[in-house]
Amino acid sequence: MTEKEEIIERAVRAREKKAALGEDVAIDQYIAEAQEHQALSSLDEIATDYKQDMLHAGVDPSEKDRSGSFLQQDHSVVFSRVKYPGMELMSTTDALKKYDWLKDYMWQKIPVDTDKYTAEVELGQTHGYFIRAEPGSKVTMPIQSCLFISTDKIRQNVHNIIIAEENSELHIITGCSVSHTVNSALHLGVSEFYVKKGAKITFTMVHNWGGGIEVRPRTAVVVEDDGVFISNYILMTPVKSLQMFPTTYCVGRNARTTSQSIVYATGNAKIDMGAKVVLQGEGSKAEIVSRVIATDNAKVIARGDVYGETEHVKGHIECRALMLSDTAEVESIPSLRATRRDLELSHEAAVGKIAEDEIRYLMSRGLSEDEAASVIIRGFLNVDITGLPEALARETKKMFEMSLEKVM
């Protein structure tokens, strides 16, 4: 049996395997087939009524201040272009045909039989993106990628591979979005990141979903010696259910990772999210920061796990949640585990409401009650995202403001 045949067999056996976390999703209620969408010669050719949906996910059809762009609509890759040398960008399907060695990166840190969602991605994969920075290549202008759903009741199964070779620098803005005309859909996304020695990846993800969308991302990251991985996640729009728990393995000496999440949960959303870091390399460091606002009938579980498995490592978890409704729920679950004595792990968590004295103070300065609440919410969500190049920090701030405008 070949390695590929073994992977398929494991996936088949896991087709009914429920995930360890989150609500179960009936995959078969979503359509496996989709019409082929025509390739574009420019992102500006995307249908006008889709452009705003993409913009709210941080994807700019004009490609201004972008080093490359990738757009997948439903099951079709309709645009892929990179502007600068030293980087590669294409569909994972095409990359596997081009590079035989790429199969050695597939399913290395995410077992294909993790659950029925990973099994479905293997058995019914519909592209995904491959991004690679060549050794020594440092392009600070971000690549943008968009996984877009425009067909009702469809399921989108993508497998993404991102590689930053030694001493390279790679910045990505990825927007997962849905057309405003779609009432329900399922997005399954497997993403595997490889940060080689001395390399750096910043990954800013904006989810722009709708109240009928179910989302099950599965992500793993490997960081080698002196590597850096920074993850920023923004969810400010409704979603039916979301479950994600990315795991970063700091395997190298002095490897570093930072995970920051901003979530505004509304309606009847059921969200189980967080991040896990395994500190395996001496001197490695991790920080997990999350800000959650819950209103209406939303239910949010915010997890943070840091495992220290070697000496001289540091890890910190910070989770803060703001309750805007008596019918919403937030549960914060920080977890620390140490298997060595010479390390430092810590966590802090807080859940509360908007303080009345803060409202009164702002109202005394001339603001209405609603305006005062808006100012407090903006301040609460405005996490200082560090470690980004100036252009990417500016774009991330703009995406945050656009997302916030939709809910304020």
pLDDT confidence of 395, banded at 50, 70, 90?
low
Strand 129-133 to strand 87-91: parallel, antiparallel, or no bridges (unpaired)? antiparallel
pLDDT score for 93: 97
Residue with tokens 């490897």, as numbered in its chain:
255
Domain contains 408: no
Residue with tokens 């103070």, as numbered in its chain:
361
- Of 214, 224, 278, nearest to 244 by C-alpha is 214
- 402 pLDDT higher than 60: no
Overall pTM surpassing 0.85 (yes/no) = yes
Domain contains 357: no
- Nearest-10 Cα torsion for 76, 78, 82, 88: 20
Domain contains 266: no
Domain contains 399: no
Q: What is the pLDDT of residues 18-38, one digit of tens each?
A: 999 999 999 999 999 999 999
- Nearest-10 Cα torsion for 210, 212, 218, 221: 10
pLDDT score for 287: 96
User: Which three-class secondary structure state does DSSP give residue 45?
Assistant: helix
φ, ψ dihedrals at 356, nearest 5° = -65, -35
pLDDT score for 64: 85
pLDDT score for 372: 72
Domain contains 122: yes
pLDDT confidence of 384, banded at 50, 70, 90?
low
φ, ψ dihedrals at 20, nearest 5° = -70, -30
> What is the CB neighbour count within 10 angstroms for residue 406?
12
Domain contains 102: yes
Domain count, the chain: 1
- Of 260, 320, 263, 321, nearest to 286 by C-alpha is 260
Residue with tokens 């006008």, as numbered in its chain:
48
Structural domain of 8: 3-244
**Residue 118 near residue 112 (C-beta atoms within 8 A):** yes
Q: Give Rg (Cα) of the chain.
A: 21
- 388 pLDDT higher than 80: no
Domain contains 112: yes
Mean pLDDT across 368-397: 65
Domain contains 347: no
